[in-house]
Amino acid sequence: MNEQHIFIVRCGEVALKGMNKPYFERMLAERIRKLLKRKFADFEVKRQEGLIFVRADKSYEKEEIIREISKVFGVASISPAVEAEPALDAIGEAAVAYMKEAIEERGIQTFKVKAKRADKNFPVKSPEIGRIIGAKILIGCKVLRVDVNHPDCLLFVDVRHDKAYIYQDKIAGFGGLPLGTNGKGMSLLSGGIDSPVATWMMAKRGMMIEAIHFHSYPYTSQRAQEKVEELARIVATYCGRFKMHVINLLPIQEQIVQNCPEEETTILVRRFMMRIAEKVAGETGCGMLITGENLGQVASQTAEALVVTDASVKMPVMRPLIALDKVDIMDKAREIGTYETSIQPYEDCCTVFLPKHPVTKPRLERILESESRLDCETLIADAAASRETIDIKPE
């Protein structure tokens, strides 16, 4: 490898994992490696003393590498750094060069040095390292002065047993846990704002993702499905490649409309969606379902409706958005890049055969009575068997 960018990557909750910490660190390093491999050829990812160091050829844009690393769940922060031999003269020389570049690029006038001695065998203690390096910077950069309260540049010096690292920025990542450390879930993915965010949030907790999408063709268009596929690809930039199972719900909706009370249509359709998702989840190794439901947001998401919905399945249902305000969900959708796609005005299967006055406080016994008029097992089995499976790859 030629001249290099160096990045210090810090773990989030991984650092709290006790005896399991090395496992989580290995998973995190591997996730960083896999993600960078999609765009870069010449790089190295290495675990060392609770940190992960990424080295990449200088021909790559530093900002692009940071942007990619920050997408990896489990990353708390990233610092572009320069490297020096672990000796005060070498550290001082590198620090002066770093500050001269900062003066030229940003016109800084004040600074403060904060030193840390990870290698306790290093003969000089942390506060003294800071004072010595600060003095060398004052000599080498005459235009600078020290400001311990509000410096233009807070310079970090991290002395380790084989190298010392100098950096300023700590660029925040998303945190969370590395993918693959918390099982696998089946997400009910629609074209709305909520379900892509819910999927992203569960992936952030380390859960591998598989997805299921319901449509009502020809009442819903091919473009509506393409919208969902586009959303899935955006989510895949964070959680990696996954499968999405696509199912036409129209035969079931037609049976419900023909045989059941109109006001129960929404909750009955929702229960069928959950049972189909549970069946596909069981066949694909998923241990739970994930939905974008939010308490009280629509008729099918009242407390009573959610209880009736959950009664249709045995598999646990994860609802990471359950208590969030809609504004918070929209803000998160903007942050992860799904919002603009979600608001495109294409129809959704949930809007087909929508009752004028949907029941908001359904009673389970009445819903079960309505379902007794349908051949539920056959409808569910046929829907699951007819699914189309799409391989979703990151954008």
CA of residue 7 relative to chain centroid, distance = 21
- 240 marked as binding residue: no
- 188 marked as binding residue: yes
Q: What is the dihedral of CA 20, 13, 324, 237, to 10 degrees?
A: -90
- 258 marked as binding residue: no
Model confidence over 101-138: pLDDT tens digits? 999 999 999 999 999 998 888 999 999 999 999 999 99
Among candidate residues 146, 172, 198, the one where a domain is terminated: 172
Question: What is the C-alpha separation between 243 and 389, in angstroms, rounded?
Answer: 7
Do 250 and 111 fall within a single domain?
A: no
pLDDT band at 395; cut points 50, 70, 90:
confident
Do 166 and 188 fall within a single domain?
A: no
Question: What is the C-alpha separation between 246 and 389, in angstroms, rounded?
Answer: 6
CATH of the domain at 282: 3.40.50.620
pLDDT band at 1; cut points 50, 70, 90:
very low
Question: What is the C-alpha separation between 385 and 139, in angstroms, rounded?
Answer: 75
Residue 56 covered by a domain: yes
Indicate if the pLDDT at residue 17 is higher than 70.
no
- 43 marked as binding residue: no
- 48 marked as binding residue: no
- 35 marked as binding residue: no
Question: What is the C-alpha separation between 317 and 162, in angstroms, rounded?
Answer: 48
CATH of the domain at 8: 3.30.2130.30
Tokens 């006790």, located at residue = 18
Q: Is residue 240 within 8 Å of 232, Cβ to Cβ?
A: no
Residue whose C-alpha is closest to residue 161's, from 6, 4, 51, 14: 51
In which domain, by residue range, is 226 found?
A: 184-392
Task: Give pTM, 2 decimals.
Answer: 0.90
Do 375 and 265 fall within a single domain?
A: yes
Do 133 and 233 fall within a single domain?
A: no
Do 253 and 344 fall within a single domain?
A: yes
* Phi and psi, residue 211, nearest 5°: -135, 155
Mean pLDDT of the chain: 92
Instruction: Provide the β-strand partners of residue 85.
Output: none
Residue 177 covered by a domain: no
Do 134 and 32 fall within a single domain?
A: yes
Model confidence over 43-97: pLDDT tens digits? 999 998 889 999 999 989 999 999 999 999 999 999 999 999 999 999 999 999 9
Residue 232 covered by a domain: yes
Do 165 and 232 fall within a single domain?
A: no
Among candidate residues 132, 149, 172, the one where a domain is terminated: 172
- 215 marked as binding residue: no
Do 285 and 226 fall within a single domain?
A: yes
Model confidence over 247-270: pLDDT tens digits? 999 999 999 999 999 999 999 999
- What is the total count of domains within the chain? 2
Q: Which helix (H) or strand (E) holds 27?
A: helix 21-37
Model confidence over 181-229: pLDDT tens digits? 999 999 999 999 999 999 999 999 999 999 999 998 888 888 889 999 9
Residue whose C-alpha is closest to residue 341's, from 213, 242, 224: 224
